[in-house]
């Protein structure tokens, strides 16, 4: 069983109070709209004081949807693989 996550970092998140649709796009979203939405979400993440905590949480779960810690789903999958390779090499 996984340990219960600590959510304390969320209190300092730059996205706190933002519209969730910015980070988790609507069903049926087209690619051009997705790119614009993700760019806006990533701009908020870039200035976030808890970005690393957010990304670590999303990778450890793993969160399948949305922008977390400045990375979208595909980017997090790549980061997860990179971290696993690094851990296996150690």
Indicate the helix (H) or strand (E) that contains 31. helix 31-46
- The response to whether 54 counts as a known ligand-binding position is yes
- The response to whether 40 counts as a known ligand-binding position is no
Q: Are the C-beta atoms of 65 and 20 separated by less than 8 Å?
A: no
Neighbours of 69 (CB within 10 A): 22
- The response to whether 87 counts as a known ligand-binding position is no
Q: How far is CA 40 from CA 2, 22, 53, in A?
A: 32, 7, 20
- The response to whether 73 counts as a known ligand-binding position is no
Residue 3 CA to residue 43 CA, distance in Å, equals 31
| Binding site per annotation, positions for [4Fe-4S] cluster | 15, 45, 48, 54
| Binding site per annotation, positions | 15, 45, 48, 54
């Amino acid at each position: 069983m996984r340990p219960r996550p600590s959510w304390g970092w969320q209190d300092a998140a730059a996205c706190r109070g933002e519209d969730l649709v910015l980070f988790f796009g609507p069903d049926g979203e087209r690619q051009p709209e997705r790119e614009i939405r993700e760019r806006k979400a990533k701009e908020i993440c870039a200035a976030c004081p808890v970005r690393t905590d957010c990304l670590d949480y999303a990778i450890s779960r793993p969160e399948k949807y949305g922008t977390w810690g400045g990375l979208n789903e595909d980017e997090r999958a790549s980061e997860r693989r990179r971290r696993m390779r690094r851990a296996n090499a150690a």
